[in-house]
Amino acid sequence: MGQRTAKVSRDTSETQVSVEVNVDGSGRYEIDTGNGMLDHLLAQLSRHGLIDLRIEAKGDVEVGWHHLVEDVGIVLGRALREAVGDARGIVRMAHAYVPLDEALALTVVDFSGRGYAVLDSHLSDGDLGGLTGDLVDHLLESLAREGGFNLHVRVLAGSNNHHKSEAIFKGLARALRAALTVDERLEGRVASTKGTIG
């Protein structure tokens, strides 16, 4: 199996976003969204998921971060979906518990072809570098919907928003890494009794 890669761009009157992803990478990243916290969270996906990422995003941030954050989630999700392709041979489902100081997050994914997110993040609006808790959740929702995977997040402990959100993204990275691993015992089959996740 060759490396699973994709390049996806999206230009609208609100944002311009381009993403390159290599699911079989080594955790290298170049990320520039104009928001340091957003860059930091996306870098966790790369480093801890061993996914190479290049993300460039610009937009109408003078009206707030909503458009840019949402569109980064959309484009990154589409790139992941394209890179994964028909999902032949992948483990498909995985989870990770990740602590960060007082915070503890459980993140669960299923590359089922059905994009859906259930988030119990308990994020409020402090210490998120200009983002809000709702926007972090919205990024995750957009990523799961466009990526075609089921995502469940539960923050089990924590008081600091930075710690909670970083634990979520590290957990997502580890869950993605495990779920997208190719299991040779599947012999190229899709891990579904339906024979497809499309």
Average pLDDT over residues 162-177: 98
pLDDT band at 2 (very low <50, low <70, confident <90, very high): confident
pLDDT in tens, 32-41: 999 999 999 9
- Which uninterrupted H or E stretch holds 175? helix 161-179
Quick one: pLDDT at residue 193? 62
Instruction: Let me know if residue 152 belongs to a domain.
Output: yes
Checking if the pLDDT of 1 tops 60, the result is no
d(CA 23, CA 181) in angstroms, rounded, equals 9
Quick one: pLDDT at residue 176? 98
d(CA 175, CA 192) in angstroms, rounded, equals 18
Checking if the pLDDT of 198 tops 70, the result is no
d(CA 64, CA 62) in angstroms, rounded, equals 5
Instruction: Let me know if residue 148 belongs to a domain.
Output: yes
Number of domains in the chain: 1
Quick one: pLDDT at residue 129? 92
Bin 197: left if φ > 0, else alpha if -120 < ψ < 50, else beta: alpha
- pTM: predicted TM-score of the whole model, two decimal places: 0.94
Instruction: Let me know if residue 146 belongs to a domain.
Output: yes
- Residue range of the domain that includes 135: 5-186
Average pLDDT over residues 87-95: 92
d(CA 189, CA 43) in angstroms, rounded, equals 31
Estimate the crossing angle of helix 161-179 against helix 36-49, to 10 degrees. Answer: 30
pLDDT in tens, 109-138: 999 999 999 999 999 998 999 999 999 999
Instruction: Let me know if residue 135 belongs to a domain.
Output: yes
d(CA 47, CA 25) in angstroms, rounded, equals 10
User: 27: domain CATH number?
Assistant: 3.30.230.40
Instruction: Let me know if residue 191 belongs to a domain.
Output: no
Average pLDDT of the residues of the chain: 94
Average pLDDT over residues 70-94: 95
d(CA 87, CA 194) in angstroms, rounded, equals 13
pLDDT in tens, 40-66: 999 999 999 999 999 999 999 999 999
